[in-house]
Amino acid sequence: MRKTYWGTAVLLAALFFSCNRRSGPAPQIPLQDGWKFKPTDNLEFARPDFDDRGWTNIGVDKTWNKQGFPKYEGFGWYRIKVIIPSSLKKKAYLQDSVIFHLGRIDDFDQVFLNGELIGENLKNMPPGSKPNDAYKNLKYSFWDVPRRYSLPADDPRIRWDRENVIAVRVFDWGVAGGIYSGDLRIAMPEEREYFSLRFDRHIFQEKNGQWQKTLKIKNKAEKYSIEGRIRILVKNNISGKAIYQGDESFQLQPGTAHSFRYSLPKQQQSASAQYTVLFENSGDTLTFTEGVPYILTPPEKERPQINGALVYGQRPGKPFLYRIAATGRRPMSFLAVNLPEGLMLDTETGIITGKVNKRGVYKIRLIAENELGKDEKTLTVKIGDTIALTPPMGWNSWNCWGLSVTQERVYAAAKSFVESGLADHGWTYINIDDGWEIYGKSQEAKRTPDGEIRTNEKFPEMKKLGKDIHALGLKFGIYSSPGPLTCGGYTASYGYEERDAHTFADWGIDYLKYDLCTYRDLMTDQNDPKELMPPYKKMQKALAKQNRDIVYSLCEYGNGKVWEWGAKVGGNLWRTTGDIWDDWDRMFFIGFNQEEAAPYAGPGHWNDPDMLIVGWVGWGEHLHPTNLTPDEQYTHVSLWALLAAPLLLGNDLTRLDDFTLNLLTNDEVLAVDQDPLGRQGIPVIKEKNIHVYKKELSDGSAAVGIFNTGRATQEYTLYPEKIGIRRGVKVRDLWRQKDLGRLDREFKTVIPPHGVTLIKVSE
């Protein structure tokens, strides 16, 4: 076999060395260019002398599907030739190992150096799995994990100052495959790679009226000690002034950890913290930043205050359940004047139950009273054909528990709704997402002999769960798919629609999320409403036959412009997009792209830009605090309220911190979402980094959100005539619940990075 020296020469030329470790970048060999690719599998390809001249040149910045192999899935091999010069080692501060950074690989990989296996990505695989089983086991994928394989510098597999062949065997299980992003390179380890600073799992905790923060540092190296300093700088994002400055020095022996704490006064304006780590020995530095929570919602009053949507729809003769949402010191007693025939109020809990047979609009006077006073409000009950008169507000298990949801976790969420006080602000639905059914690949019977869908062992008593949730005055939701399996691979409703609707009703279900998932395999065009509508209509018909109202949530990711036909198949809400996750770009992309669907929102039928990603989330067993900064969370909740979006929390409600609770209990902000007019807000100004949204409200006023989508604090002047507002209107800051006077010529505001100013303008 002849070797090709050309690629090697190019790589050698691209080598970059720094001679001063304390100021320049660390030496490294880039592996960004020069790869060859073959879309088949043969272990011979690992051999260094294999002749790959006939292979395709390929980039490692995008999947192979985007480089001439659009439909290919399965095994594919990548090869590259590279000289590893001994100067790489000599110029490094840490010299005893060599790291192969191979970027992100979709889905699995094994890496060979000069014909020998040096690493494979089997982390998290069940014990005993072999690479090949692993590749075929569809439960685990590391598609988004950057690959980093380390070898001792004296490992005989490394050929110093000679040509080396790296061969990567990739297995893609579908959709897209290959090495597709990341900074591919060979480098000696840097000191910072052995150092970790964890601040994200240690949220700012309230302690004696202060925010207390813990920073945990760790030396992950087995041999080296690490010493240096951490500079802490906390700044107010509006004034730019320093709120806190600290300097901590550290010396960490191998494998040891250390924690620091600092405290700040509780903030009421946007702030951010910067942690700069200076490594004493290598001269390396590392910087981290994070948002500091700040509280805007004023403390709850001790006197009674009735909150939540004051319009409620139910169909005639269907079980009625409405919990009067009221804040204030307990005990509190409730009264409802003019209750229509068939309804009863529990005066201690404020829960109204019963059935109303006669269609009509009923005005009920609600009264909540405690030792400090009382509050009165009118609730309009509409007994007719429309339910979900305002966007549903509640919780769904997906964004926290994913497929690890259990009955206890669901009930714990329901209890937290009441105990944390969230239910007193109108939060109502407790919805189980995917993962309650029998797994499709399990040997167990999926249904009883007469066709009733069975729950898995994590949900031993579904009917009892429903009863317990109802007893708290809350509503109970569930999930299924029109396909044979759910997205998570669990049993779904295909062929059993009527049967399942009946079972759901029997369990006391009030809300069904119906997720397209595997029904897609039965379609020829996933975007054709003619194909999308029938399965949704079928379930709606089945639901309509039940003895209770079931809010119907369509989940098909916005395919075929669902907003144009969702109401025709009886949908009360429909997802307009793919899934959300706790990342600014994702939330931004979804939230700020809802305009086209806006005209289709209204009482009984809502656009659903997916669930909220605040608090502790994680899609499985291991939760983390949301990656959104406090400002991004204010933006998230404000925008969803302006969009009249369903508000479904996705966090672990048993782990609610002060900031998150404060964020979710602002009655004036929630009232924007729950406004009975049901108009979806739309963008009225779009400028660089500034988006202004306006939502018309039922009392003739409007809510206006001014969003700063940029990374720097921004001053903005809003001119009322530009957004169709009369001069002289009253302005109220909704988050602070504070009047700001009259809006004459202009309204000036300073908005923190990714933050919002949310106001209400009224006559």
Q: Where in the sequence numbering do the catalytic residues fall? A: 515, 579
Nearer to ligand GLA, 609 or 753 (CB): 609
| Size, binding site for ligand GLA by CB under 6 A | 9
Nearer to ligand GLA, 102 or 405 (CB): 405
Q: What are phi and psi of 637, to 5 degrees?
A: -70, -40
Which of the stretches 83-91, 418-426, 484-492, 519-527 binds ligand GLA when contact is defined by CB under 6 A? 484-492
Nearer to ligand GLA, 107 or 515 (CB): 515
Is 398 near ligand GLA (CB under 6 A)?
A: yes
Which of the stretches 47-55, 65-73, 247-255, 485-493 binds ligand GLA when contact is defined by CB under 6 A? 485-493
Write down the number of H helices and E strands in the chain.
Answer: 12, 46
Nearer to ligand GLA, 559 or 665 (CB): 559
Choice from 419, 579, 657, 658 touching ligand GLA (CB under 6 A): 579
Residue whose structure tokens are 């949402």: 325
Which of the stretches 290-298, 378-386, 414-422, 483-491 binds ligand GLA when contact is defined by CB under 6 A? 483-491
Token pair listed for 416: 């937290």
Closest CA to 102 of 149, 142, 57: 149
Which of the stretches 206-214, 256-264, 305-313, 486-494 binds ligand GLA when contact is defined by CB under 6 A? 486-494
**To the nearest whole angstrom, how small is the minimum distance from the Cβ of residue 26 to ligand GLA?**
40
Is 648 near ligand GLA (CB under 6 A)?
A: no
Nearer to ligand GLA, 282 or 607 (CB): 607
- Burial of residue 512 (CB within 10 Å: 0-12, 13-18, 19+) is buried
Is 555 near ligand GLA (CB under 6 A)?
A: yes
Choice from 488, 615, 625, 720 touching ligand GLA (CB under 6 A): 488
Is 34 near ligand GLA (CB under 6 A)?
A: no
**To the nearest whole angstrom, how small is the minimum distance from the Cβ of residue 621 to ligand GLA?**
16
Nearer to ligand GLA, 186 or 623 (CB): 623
Closest CA to 627 of 619, 635, 618: 618
The residues that bridge with 715 in the sheet, in sequence order, are: 750
Residue whose structure tokens are 């992100």: 104
Residues 538 and 182: their CA atoms lie apart, in Å, by 46
**To the nearest whole angstrom, how small is the minimum distance from the Cβ of residue 35 to ligand GLA?**
33
Residue whose structure tokens are 């001790």: 302
Is 582 near ligand GLA (CB under 6 A)?
A: no
Closest CA to 619 of 465, 438, 488: 488
Nearer to ligand GLA, 468 or 515 (CB): 515
**To the nearest whole angstrom, how small is the minimum distance from the Cβ of residue 650 to ligand GLA?**
9
For 319, 325, 331, 418, the CA distances from 349, given in Å and listed in that order, are: 18, 10, 9, 11
Choice from 109, 433, 468, 497 touching ligand GLA (CB under 6 A): 433
Residues 125 and 107: their CA atoms lie apart, in Å, by 13
Residues 636 and 584: their CA atoms lie apart, in Å, by 9
Is 486 near ligand GLA (CB under 6 A)?
A: yes
Q: What are phi and psi of 407, to 5 degrees?
A: -60, -40
**To the nearest whole angstrom, how small is the minimum distance from the Cβ of residue 575 to ligand GLA?**
7
Identify whether the C-beta of residue 244 lies closer than 8 Å to the C-beta of residue 262: yes
Query: Using CB under 6 A as the criterion, what x/- string covers residues 500-519 for binding ligand GLA?
Result: ---------------x----
Closest CA to 50 of 40, 65, 59: 40
Q: What are phi and psi of 260, to 5 degrees?
A: -120, 155
Token pair listed for 250: 């550290």
Nearer to ligand GLA, 486 or 576 (CB): 486
Query: Using CB under 6 A as the criterion, what x/- string covers residues 358-397 for binding ligand GLA?
Result: ----------------------------------------
Q: What are phi and psi of 293, to 5 degrees?
A: -65, 150
Within 13 Å, how many C-alpha atoms sit on residue 541's CB side? 9
Nearer to ligand GLA, 503 or 577 (CB): 577
**To the nearest whole angstrom, how small is the minimum distance from the Cβ of residue 311 to ligand GLA?**
28
Is 434 near ligand GLA (CB under 6 A)?
A: yes
Residues 143 and 135: their CA atoms lie apart, in Å, by 12
3-class SS shares of the chain: helix, strand, coil, % to 5: 20, 35, 45
Is 590 near ligand GLA (CB under 6 A)?
A: no
- Contacts (Cβ under 8 Å, ≥6 apart) of 354: 319, 320, 342, 343, 344
**To the nearest whole angstrom, how small is the minimum distance from the Cβ of residue 402 to ligand GLA?**
8
Residue ranges in contact with ligand GLA by CB under 6 A: 398, 433-434, 486-488, 515, 555, 579
